[in-house]
Structure 1
C-alpha cells in the first residue's frame, strides 16, 4: 500500500501550485516514520520552489518608472507590487518629496526611488506620468525619450497632441484615466492609445486590470467618459452623503447610515454589472404599485433628480 500527500500552495486566487508526493512503500516499516518526515520536508521545499518559479513566470519582464508619488502615483506603484505582475525591484518612482518616497519604501523596500525624473525614465520600458496637468510640460521636457519607450499619462485633460509636443510624437503613448477607487482595486479605468499595436494595448490593459475594470476608448470620447467615471464617483458619493443625512435625521447613527447606504449602492452596482441588466428593470422590481419606493422616486423626479445628474455630467466635460 502507498500513501500520498497533497500539498497546495496558494499564489493568488486564480493560480496554485499542486505537488503530489508519493511516499515509499510501507514494507520499509523500521524506517517508516523517518522516511515520512524526510519526504514531507522534501515535498514542502519542492512546493515552495515551484511556487516561486510560477510567480516568476507570471511576471512581466519590464522596468517601469512612475513620475509622481502623489495619491495616484503611489496607488499605482502599490497596486503593481500587490499584483505580483511586476517585480518591485523593476519599479522606480520619482518625486521631489522625500517623505512620500520613504512612505513607498516602507511599503516595499525593493521599490527604487529617486528625486531625479531623468534618472527614473532613463532605463525604463514604460514611463507612467502621474503628475498634475499644469506641470506635465515641465516634466516631459526634461526627459529624453527613446523610440521603444512607452509613455502612459494619468494627467486629466492633456491630449496626445500636447503630450507629443512636450515629448516625442513618434513614441507609443497611452492616456489612462482611473478614479480614486484605484487604491482599493475597484477603479473604472479608461484607456486611449496613440501609435500603439494591439499587443501593446493588451499589455497595458493587463497592467491596469489589476486595479479594477478597464475599457479602451477613442481619445474623442475620453472627456465624456471621464465625466461618467472619474467625476462620476464624486456624484455617487454626494448621493451617499445626502442619504446619510436623511438617515441621521430619521434617528439612525451616522456610521450605521453610512454602511447601509454604501452597501445599497454597492448592491445596485452589482445588479447592473453581474446581471448585465438595465437600471429601469431593477427599479421596476422594487416599485410596488402604491408602495413607498415609487413615492420616493416620484419625489426625486419632481425635484429634478435625473435632470440634475445629466447637467452635472455635461458640466464636467
Structure 2
C-alpha cells in the first residue's frame, strides 16, 4: 500500500513521524510534496526512504492512501488539479474539519475519510478522529482503523460533532499548554520560585496526572475529590477557579465554532465563483 501526503506543514510532518516511528508504514511507502519543496526535502532528510514528488499530481498518481494536508481554502483548487489522476480504488483523506466528508464525495470518485490528528500522536498517544464516507468499503474501514491503532486511539465521530471533537483532541493540547504556561508565570510572579523549577514541577505533575487517568486509578471528578480536602489549601484554590473561570470554556467553543462556520461559508462562496 502506497501512502501520499500533499502538504508537509505541521500536521503533515507529525503524521509522517507518527506513522514511520510507530512502524505503521516504511519510509519507502510514503510519497510527499509541498508548495515549498524544501520542507518536503527536509522531511526526506530525516527519513531517507521517503519519495519527494515535484507536485501534487505526481503524489496523486502514486498513492493508494492520499492525505490532503493543506489549508481549507486550498482544498477545492487542489482537488480540481488532481482530479484526472484520482480513481475509485484510492482513499482520499482530509485532515480539516470545515470540508465535510459528504462534500468531498461530491468532488472526487475516491473513497473518502476524514482523519483528524493530534500533536499527541507524535508521542504515539492520544486520539485520531475518524469519519467515513458512504463509499468506504468494509475492508478499507478496517484497514484505516487498524493503522490508527498503531500509534493512537481511533474514535469514530459524526459530522455534527466534528468541530467540538477537534477542539478537544487537536486544539486541546495548545489550549492547555497556554493555561499551564500562565500557571507557571503566576507562580513565578507571586513567589520566589524560578521559572525552571516551576516548569519542571508542572511538567512532571502533568505526566503523572496523565498516568493516573490512563491506568484507571481515578476519573476527573474522583481525582478532584481525593486531592481537594474540605477546608484545605486545594479547596481554597478551587474556589478561586470556580469564581474566575466562569463561562471561559463556553466562550472558547463559541469562538471556534464561529470560525468553523465562517470557514464553511467561505468554502461555499469559493465553489460558486
TM range (shorter): 0.7 to 0.9
Distance 2:145 2:165 in 1: 17
Unaligned runs of 5+ in 2: 258-273
Q: Which moved more, 1:292-301 or 1:147-156?
A: 147-156
Give the greater-gyration-radius structure (CA). Answer: 1
Structure 1 segment 227-238 matched on structure 2, within 5 A: 227-238=167-178
SS, match of residue 316 in structure 1: helix
- Cross-structure match for 1:167: 108
Runs of 4 or more consecutive aligned structure 1 residues displaced over 6 Å after TM superposition: none
1:218 aligns with 2:158: yes
For the aligned residue pairs, the C-alpha RMSD in angstroms reads 1.9
Structure 1 segment 111-260 matched on structure 2, within 5 A: 111-143=50-82, 144-168=85-109, 171-194=110-133, 195-249=135-189, 250-260=191-201
Structure with bigger RCO (C-alpha 8 Å, 6+ apart): 2
Distance 1:280 1:237 in 2: 21
Residue of 214, 224, 227 corresponding to 1:286: 227
Distance 2:105 2:136 in 1: 14
The TM-score with structure 2 as length reference comes to: 0.85
Distance 2:169 2:16 in 1: 21
Distance 1:201 1:252 in 2: 51
Distance 1:252 1:150 in 2: 53
Distance 1:282 1:234 in 2: 23
The TM-score with structure 1 as length reference comes to: 0.74
Distance 1:87 1:269 in 2: 30
Unaligned runs of 5+ in 1: 1-61
- Cross-structure match for 1:24: none
Q: Is the 8 A contact 1:193 1:218 kept in 2?
A: no
In the TM superposition, what whole-angstrom CA distance separates every residue of 1:135-175 from its partner, at most 9, and x where no partner exists? 0111111113111100111123211233223323xx31111
Equivalenced residue count is 253
SS, match of residue 247 in structure 2: helix
Q: Is the 8 A contact 2:95 2:114 kept in 1?
A: yes
Give, in angstroms, the shift of residue 63 of structure 1: 0.5
